[in-house]
Amino acid sequence: MAGTSLNDMPSATACGCMGTSALLAGLLPRGIEVSELFADPPDVTSSLYPEEVDLVARAVEKRRREFAAVRMCARTAMARLGVPSAPSLPGEHRSPVWPDGIVGSMTHCDGYRAAAVARRSVVISIGVDAEPHDPLPDGVEEAVLLSEERDAALRLSERRPDTAWDRLIFSAKESVFKAWFPMTAQWLDFSECVVAPDPDRGTFTATLLVPGPVVAGERIQHFTGRWRTRGGIEQGHVATAVLVGIVDPSRAGRDPDPPLVRAAGKSHRQRGKRST
Ligand SMILES: CC(C)(COP(=O)(O)OP(=O)(O)OC[C@H]1O[C@@H](n2cnc3c(N)ncnc32)[C@H](O)[C@@H]1OP(=O)(O)O)[C@@H](O)C(=O)NCCC(=O)NCCS
């Protein structure tokens, strides 16, 4: 397809558009609007629409706050695209439902919330993820990383001990899933994609080990992404972002005319993880 790799595009940071305090906001190219919060406004849950309040009415305070704060980010980012404020409700398998012509992704963890949105005429799918910049807890690595990813994390840690590479690869896989799911409505297991980070460029390539989605007649087997850390290990955050099928950032703001996206040729059923 006539798409550009994310690895080849300047980020806002590279353009000198962002301060060093940004995390995801400094990572993505023009045409993708990112809004992020490092602390919640005290009255954050009062920003929810009634339909959204209902969804988290029985949730714990922590969940209500992250749910509200990330939706605040989403509305801020969409306002920059000129999209009117509206409830942001979860759809199939908790995947966020965006207004017509908009694609996006949300993430939250302790001390960080972010949403990235764009017009579908600019990019076909977005996945963003942020994690605490800590090594994965004991026992988790084997469950979420393939052996070649564990080997890569070890090698990279020897060369660059300032980065929790196992957590970074895990985050990249979460970003891959968030970009993958809206295109396919199918589950993607941790064993079905291998992530290879480039420590010098701040990018990664995710190779799908199952048939990828078909976009404009071409099957996509590789997703490209970017990563960034803010703060040292056990202090800050690591964030990753995947953009699938960047069409043309210069079309930001124009009417959507999305290429046809056909579901990947997978047959096994999706499996749920958790519900709101
Ligand atoms: C869905 C998932 C990726 C979310 O990641 P997480 O680290 O638990 O949570 P984050 O805070 O980063 O992101 C949560 C947000 O992801 C979004 N999300 C949830 N399910 C989603 C889906 N199926 N597709 C796209 N986005 C989804 C939602 O906006 C959610 O926020 P909300 O519940 O407040 O609306 C994760 O729970 C999961 O199910 N992972 C297993 C699948 C996977 O990662 N496979 C790896 C393939 S290589």
Do the beta carbons of residue 52 and residue 71 sit within 8 Å? yes
- What distance in angstroms lies between residue 8's CA and the mean position of ligand 1's atoms? 26
Q: Number of C-alpha atoms within 13 angstroms, CB side, residue 72?
A: 22
**219: which strand partners?**
214
Q: How far is the CA of 38 from the centre of ligand 1 (A)?
A: 19
Protein residue with least CA distance to atom 5, ligand 1: 174
Report the DSSP beta bridge partners of residue 36: 114
178 Cα–ligand 1 center, Å:
6
Of 205, 250, 244, the C-alpha closest to 226 is 205
- Closest residue (by CA) to atom 46 of ligand 1? 190
Neighbours of 38 (CB within 10 A): 13
Report the nearest atom of ligand 1 relative to the CA of 193: 48
Superfamily of domain 6-258: 4'-phosphopantetheinyl transferase domain (3.90.470.20)
Q: Quick check: 40 and 48 in contact, CB under 8 A?
A: no
Ligand 1 centre distance from Cα of residue 104 (Å): 12
Q: pLDDT 10s digit of each residue in the chain, 276 long?
A: 445 666 665 554 543 334 457 999 989 998 999 999 999 999 999 999 999 999 999 999 999 999 999 999 999 999 999 999 999 999 999 999 999 999 999 999 999 999 999 999 999 999 999 999 999 998 999 999 999 999 999 999 999 999 999 999 999 999 999 999 999 999 999 999 999 999 999 999 999 999 999 988 889 999 999 999 999 999 999 999 999 987 655 554 444 444 434 444 443 344 444 333
**All structural domains of the chain with their residue ranges:** 6-258
Q: What is the pLDDT of residue 255?
A: 44
Closest atom of ligand 1 relative to the 92 alpha carbon: 23
Amino acid symbol at 31: G
**Distance between CA atoms of residues 212 and 55, nearest Å:** 32
Amino acid at position 10, single letter: P
For the chain, what's the residue count? 276
Residues 6 or more apart in contact with residue 102 via CB below 8 angstroms:
78, 81, 83, 117, 118, 119, 120
Q: 60, 94, 205, 221: which to mutate for ligand 1, most atoms within 8 A of CB?
A: 94
- 8 A C-beta contact, residue 101 and residue 226: no
Ligand 1, atom 4: closest residue by C-alpha:
174
Pocket lining for ligand 1, CB < 6 angstroms: 67, 70, 90, 93-96, 106-109, 129, 173-174, 176-178, 181-182, 188, 190, 193, 273
Token pair in block for residue 144: 């979420």
Distance 270 CA to ligand 1 centre (A): 14
Which DSSP symbol is given to 262?
Answer: E
- Give one DSSP letter per residue of 149-168, joined into a string: HHHHHHHHHHH-TTS-HHHH
How far the first Cα of the chain sits from its last, in Å, is 36
Q: What is the pLDDT of residue 245?
A: 84
